[in-house]
């Protein structure tokens, strides 16, 4: 199973979109400061996630969410 997730900083000013096999472990790494891109905005909370059984679909959805139209979709719908 692949998970596409959106994290939100506790001040709600920063968001992060990622993909993982283990959602709990990945969130723990973000909050422990082990991910350089997100370490300065921690702590993070999980805003939403979508589970995929097909890795190609998960990667495509993550890529979409990182696009301008995908960010607009996520802001409005997720």
Q: Give the up-direction half-sphere exposure of residue 32: CA atoms within 13 A in the CB hemisphere.
A: 7
Residues making up the chain, counted from first to last: 78
78 residues of the chain, pLDDT tens digit each? 999 999 999 998 999 999 999 999 999 999 999 999 999 999 999 999 999 999 999 999 999 999 999 999 998 998
Domains and CATH numbers, the chain: 2-77 (3.40.1440.10)
SS3 content of the chain, % helix, strand, coil (to 5): 45, 30, 25
- Which tokens is 49 given? 């996630």
- Strands of 15-20's sheet, edge to edge? 15-20, 2-9, 44-52
Q: What's the whole-model pTM score?
A: 0.93
Q: What is the per-residue pLDDT for 78?
A: 83
């Amino acid at each position: 199973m692949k998970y596409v997730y959106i994290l939100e900083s506790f001040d709600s000013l920063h968001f992060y979109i990622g993909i993982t096999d283990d959602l709990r472990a990945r969130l723990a790494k973000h909050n422990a400061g082990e991910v350089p891109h997100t370490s300065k905005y921690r702590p993070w909370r999980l805003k939403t996630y979508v589970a995929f059984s097909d890795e190609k679909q998960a990667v495509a959805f993550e890529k979409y969410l990182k696009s301008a139209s995908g960010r607009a979709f996520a802001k409005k719908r997720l």
